[in-house]
Amino acid sequence: MSGFETGSYAEVYRRSIDQPEEFWMEAARAVDWTVTPTRTADAEPDGTWHWFPDGRLNSCYNAVDRHVAAGRGAQIALIHDSAMTGAVQRFSYAHLLDEVARVAGMMASHGVGVGDRVLIYMPMVPEAVFAMLACARLGAVHSVVFGGFAAAELAKRIDDAAPVLVMAASCGLEPGRVVAYKPLLDEAISLATHKPRHCIVLQRPQCHAALKPGRDLDWAEQLAGAPAVGCVAVASGDPLYILYTSGTTGIPKGVVHDNGGHAVALTWSLPAIYGVHPGETFWAASDIGWAVGHSYIVYGPLFCGCTTVMYEGKPVGTPDAGAFWRVVRDHGVSVLFTAPTAIRAVKRDDPAGSHVARDGIGGLRALFLAGERADPDTLSWAEHILGVPVIDHWWQTELGWPALATCLGLGDRTIRHGSAGRPVPGNRFEVLGPDSQPVQVGEAGDIVIRLPLAPGALTTLWQRPDHFRSSYLEAHQGYYTTGDAGIIDADGYVHVMGRIDDIINVAGHRLSTGGIEQIIAAHPDVAECAVVGAADALKGMVPVGLAVLKSGVDRPDDLICREIVERVRNELGPVAAFKSVTVTQQLPKTRSGKVLRAMIRRIADGEDVTLPATIDDPKAMAAVRSALAKIGYGIAATQVQ
């Protein structure tokens, strides 16, 4: 595969910053273009760039067809491993091509064409991947919504994207229960102003969905007579997908990623960052409903000619804390990418690492973590248990691929716990104060990226270009505002301490809740934790901590909490005013594993709270409410609806 930059991290990074047009045009050679671009980018007055503006390509061709054309059709492209059903399916590139081409034919027979939106509301099944790639094949724009998402939130996405077609499944599978999707989809369509022409429904054997005559169609019946269709070339800047992320106004933000920049960036990223090459197996233990699933379950590994793993299950409980290591061994995974919360769950249930000690990890050579801050204690534990590099790295739905990392493929091996690494080539990070001026080295402030962003980042927000500019470009002119706060140390390592809102002001002192969490997480009995700033009449705000203990800990909660308070006060000093911490059975999280800290803060402050559509387990909010009540927070006014 041509176009992959080799050399040391420092050399490659310097070239990407000093000669960005030459650097990315060289990277673009690894992509198969219908019309090869002659220009790297067109610059806009606001500092953004449109990448490879005169190029044309098809993302599905780059993910599937070209590998078959190169004689590698027999290689396994996709492994679907369902811990929920106990079944494993393997699809070669040739088999994947056949499935995707016929699903594209099924869509085309219902009028789907270039620029049309298709909403995909499906669990972790191979057909969801087929649907995504089929959209790309036709030049249509897919919008994947996490399966089982609440009807009201799904309706907002239907109205915003205005899909001509919905691809759905009858149900998803969770430990101990079947989640029926079709009633949620029916309610969402009834709530939405926009009405899709058709819904094509995959009937899973665990739950048969009732179909509405005229609108709903059976997937198997429609596919049976569908012709295989070819790829349609689109402009580099044409949208590949819309992925919604929560907006502060209650209206979801439709993050748009293009075809050309996306293909170049992801094709470059797998060998450069993860050190993974064609023919190897890469596993992103995420969901296709999230950015990680788009980039590193579907597009990235397939662009690079790798084998990708799609897992329907949990890190624990399906059946035990050895689930991830079983998948790694069974399928020859070289590199695993998951969320820190998944590893914390494994650590909580198997603190001694008995599953790894007994059965091993096969040929796994690295573990990458992202999605939430990875505390040093979790990193150290995983390194000790696995005996391979464990790398925290950072990116966002908006960025589409990592912007901070330890780039294994570029010879970088220096891992600094507490940091998400150094800037990935193409990204220039700075930390700015309220005056938009750089702060001193080691001082906290707003983490920003100097424009232009690297290829693969968002190009706009769907139908909201003004909101795109106000959300990301206006706070600091010439920069993309990440919304995160942190520091850059003297060696150039970026430490992401949390969202800007997670910097709290305690009697005039700015403190990072992430820094306090790092201290709490180091306590030997703590599996995971969260710290929020609660309102205080005297100090303005005070930090309040919640700790989840490891399995098997039988020491009194009060004793552990006293030890935690002492640790924080010893390391941060009395300025932290930290004296409130309590033990909870679980923390409320999104389905992608992010702790709902803003929701915890509102509970602590006694505000009314409505369960968000993204919450993974509604019982977690009740557990937090009960735990906070024990230390005098949020007792009277809080109502969990």
Q: What pLDDT score does 247 carry? A: 56
Give the model confidence (pLDDT) of 223-239 as tens digits. Answer: 998 999 999 999 999 99
Q: Is the confidence at residue 358, as pLDDT, over 90?
A: yes
Distance of CA 88 to the CA centre of its chain: 24
Q: What pLDDT score does 640 carry? A: 36
Residue 267: HSE in the Cβ half-sphere, 13 Å Cα cutoff: 28
Q: Is the confidence at residue 48, as pLDDT, over 50?
A: yes
pLDDT classification of 258: cutoffs 50, 70, 90: very high
Q: Is the confidence at residue 561, as pLDDT, over 60?
A: yes
Q: What pLDDT score does 37 carry? A: 98
Handedness of CA 12, 14, 17, 18 (dihedral sign): negative
Residues 6+ apart with CB under 8 A from 382: 343, 347, 367, 390
Phi then psi for 489, rounded to 5 degrees?
-85, 180
Of 62, 175, 77, 165, nearest to 122 (Cα)? 165
Q: What pLDDT score does 328 carry? A: 98
Structure tokens at 155: 């309706």
| Locus of tokens 């599953």 | 355
Q: At what angle do helices 260-269 and 20-27 cross, to 10 degrees?
A: 80
What does the pLDDT average to over 611-622? 80
- Quick count: other Cβ atoms within 10 Å of Cβ 387? 12
Give the model confidence (pLDDT) of 129-164 as tens digits. Answer: 999 999 999 999 999 998 878 888 899 999 999 999
CB 123 within 8 A of CB 147: yes
> Per CATH, which fold does 9-313+393-486 belong to?
Rossmann fold (3.40.50)
CB 31 within 8 A of CB 264: yes
Give the model confidence (pLDDT) of 428-445 as tens digits. Answer: 999 999 899 999 999 989
Give the model confidence (pLDDT) of 296-336 as tens digits. Answer: 999 999 999 999 999 999 999 999 999 999 999 999 999 99
CB 545 within 8 A of CB 402: no
Of 90, 327, 123, nearest to 206 (Cα)? 123
Q: Is the confidence at residue 35, as pLDDT, over 50?
A: yes
Q: What pLDDT score does 148 carry? A: 77
Give the model confidence (pLDDT) of 158-177 as tens digits. Answer: 999 999 999 999 999 999 99
Q: Is the confidence at residue 639, as pLDDT, over 50?
A: no
Q: Is the confidence at residue 2, as pLDDT, over 60?
A: no
Phi then psi for 149, rounded to 5 degrees?
-60, 145
Counting every residue written for the chain, the total comes to: 641
Q: Is the confidence at residue 540, as pLDDT, over 80?
A: no
Q: Where are the domains of the chain?
A: 9-313+393-486, 509-630
Q: What is the mean pLDDT of the chain?
A: 92
Q: Is the confidence at residue 4, as pLDDT, over 80?
A: no
Q: What pLDDT score does 250 carry? A: 59
Percent of the chain with pLDDT over 70: 95
> Per CATH, which fold does 509-630 belong to?
GMP Synthetase; Chain A, domain 3 (3.30.300)
Q: What pLDDT score does 508 carry? A: 56
Q: Is the confidence at residue 592, as pLDDT, over 80?
A: no
In this predicted model, which residue has the larger pLDDT, 260 or 618?
A: 260
Q: Is the confidence at residue 456, as pLDDT, over 70?
A: yes
